[in-house]
Amino acid sequence: MSNLEQKLQNIPRSPGVYLFKDKNKKVIYVGKAVMLRNRVRSYFQSSQPDDAKTRRLISRIRDVETIVADSEIEALILEANLIKEYKPRYNVNLKDDKSFPYIRVTNEKFPRIFPTRKIIKDGSKYFGPYTDVGSMRSLLKTSKRIFPIRSCNLNLTEENITAGKFKVCLNYHIKKCMGPCEGLIDEQEYGQIVKNIIDFINGRDRIVIEELTQKMEHSAEEMQFEKAARVRDQIQAIKEFQYKQKVITPEEIDRDLFVAYAEDNDACGVVFKVRQGRVIGRQHFYLDGVEQETLDRILSHLLIRYYMHADFIPNEVYLPIPLEDGANIEQWLSDRLNSKVQLVFPQRGEKAKLLKMAYQNAKLLLEELKLQKMKDKDYIPHAVKALQRDLRLTNPPKRIEAFDISNIHGTDATASLVTFVNGQPYKSEYRRFKIRTKSTPDDFAMMAEAIERRYSRQVKEKNPLPDLILVDGGKGQLSVATEVLAKLSLHEQPIIALAKRLDEVFVPGISEAQNIPKTSSGLRLLQHIRDEAHRFAIEYHRQLRGKRSVYSELNNIEGIGDKRKKRLIQHFGSLKNLKTASLEEIKQVKGIPEKLAEKIWQQFQPDEKQQQ
């Protein structure tokens, strides 16, 4: 009985989460279940599932891990957290959700407000995430224009303010800050300004206006007319901001509208935020891995991920369809809000029209994404088309991988691999190889090693192969490279060689160079790629040679190994700086004993040594 079969026999009859892993112990799917035993074992029944995605998943499962939860709700949230952490291949995943910015209100005596992409658990409040960065910046700018709040990063503790360490800046004089740095506003009054900003960000404008109106009237009664006028201007600015927002319902209620539109493996989720009857913002999220997923699952996933870190939860959430996990999600949201949250599924009337409007937005956004993908996929630069024509290739060489060898008298031999996609360098796919097999100059053997190391791994890991391989050299380099590819059963892999002297192009099986016009943009592309591969190889070779020459001067000093060599160079920045360092400076290097420091100093100071 295999390890997996043993685990399947012992899975508990409890609610929880299960993680499927592949042969490399990588998590490829996370799921939840009311009863783990029944759900997990159902994947391994004799009957095959209907959908291809699940069949592919099952074929790759080599291990399973289960985590027991106290309730269905806990399992629901744990599943969402694990999907976010592992991003399994067969789950629905939000694209680039880490990059969305938030508005942060710091946990300080006099808080600051600014955008951030990192959440730090220090008591600060976060609002977002905002998928529309422009709208977020506009909201933040408007907030700071209406409400006078500090923008400095001074440490405004009671002691520092009392000691008079700070002076007000220009923002105080132009009425954009109330001067907390000099104690010109107390913590309570400043806190009320921060509360107004938070309410404003959350779309609760009417509450802010009511509070400011009371403040204005009180200031007028106290004969503080300048202060009353300033508050009046704030109220007017908020009302002007309101006019730009679409009123969709006379009900002064807060609600979120969630919809999703899916096509093939992609989906777009849209959230309309309605506050006090007005749409104050729209956010959208792209998801992948949705192939053959139900709308129910997509919406549930989106809902949970959105509200896990949401700054505000309304009492009503509109959805186009009921959800299988609806009751659990309602309970979870209600627990988070400490108030009842209701999932609503309107089928007719004005509320259904709102959902339809949101759905149309989601569809348009996904169509835009797919059009962009199609454009990126189908766009072929003229030079790539010309190269396909010149070499009579079946497919356009969109992805080209080029190799170059660099060595001087057989020392520090290296190979470089550069990748070009659609005629442009794709530097994240560049690779370097430190040649292992030859101690004497042999470009053929070195090229063979580089080709073998690259493509044996690609074949083993079933990674996609390039549309064209380019080797720097002539018929000899091409011959050994072709032999290596044949041993790897890559007989059909397109490969060519480009000789340096006359820029001649050779293809397998033909002794004569190809007749390619010197003015061909395809040939110019090959030259550019060849030169880039050469540059990359030379750069690496120089690094190795430089490192070896630096360390060689330290080899004669007894007591210095590789770690101490590295530590010395890192400390001084270069061998030159080490040579000119004083004895006291060398003694300060961590891990270098005093006697060894004297040896090093004497090695590079022969005159001083003779005098001693």
Domain boundaries, the chain: 3-91, 99-203, 255-375, 384-546, 553-611
* Confidence (pLDDT) at 477: 92
Which CATH code for domain 3-91? Answer: 3.40.1440.10
* Confidence (pLDDT) at 102: 83
* pTM more than 0.85: no
> Could you tell me what percent of the chain has a pLDDT over 90?
31
For residue 89, give the 3-state DSSP assignment: coil
- Calculate ∠ Cα 572-575-579, nearest 5°: 85
Please report which confidence band the pLDDT of residue 611 belongs to, taking 50, 70 and 90 as the band edges. very low
What mean pLDDT comes out for the span 47-69?
82
* Confidence (pLDDT) at 612: 45
What mean pLDDT comes out for the span 44-62?
79
Cα–Cα distance for residue pair 58/51, rounded to 1 Å: 11
The span from the first CA to the last CA of the chain, in angstroms, equals: 77
DSSP state at residue 27: E
What mean pLDDT comes out for the span 510-514?
90
Q: Which of 320-334, 362-376, 380-394, 545-559 has the lowest mean pLDDT?
A: 545-559
- Burial readout 117-152 (b: 16 or more C-beta within 10 A, e: otherwise): eeeeeeebbbbbbbbeeeebeebbebbbebbbbbee
How crowded is the C-beta side of 341, counted as CA atoms within 13 Å? 22
Q: Which of 224-233, 327-336, 446-455, 471-480 has the lowest mean pLDDT?
A: 224-233
255-375, CATH topology level: Nucleotidyltransferase; domain 5 (3.30.420)
Q: Which residues contact 503 (CB under 8 A, 6 or more apart)?
A: 518, 523, 526, 527
Cα–Cα distance for residue pair 276/282, rounded to 1 Å: 15
Rg (CA), the chain: 33
> Could you tell me what percent of the chain has a pLDDT over 70?
87
- Joined tokens for residue 81: 């957290």
- Calculate ∠ Cα 547-552-554, nearest 5°: 110
CATH class of 384-546: alpha beta
- Calculate ∠ Cα 428-429-431, nearest 5°: 110
Q: Which of 123-127, 468-472, 525-529 has the lowest mean pLDDT?
A: 123-127
* Confidence (pLDDT) at 408: 59
- Mean pLDDT, the chain, whole residue set: 83
Check residue 512 and give left, alpha or beta (phi > 0: left; psi -120 to 50: alpha). beta
Second CATH level (architecture) for the domain 553-611? Orthogonal Bundle (1.10)
Please report which confidence band the pLDDT of residue 245 belongs to, taking 50, 70 and 90 as the band edges. very low
Say yes or no: do domains 3-91 and 255-375 share a fold. Answer: no
* Confidence (pLDDT) at 553: 60
Cα–Cα distance for residue pair 430/417, rounded to 1 Å: 6
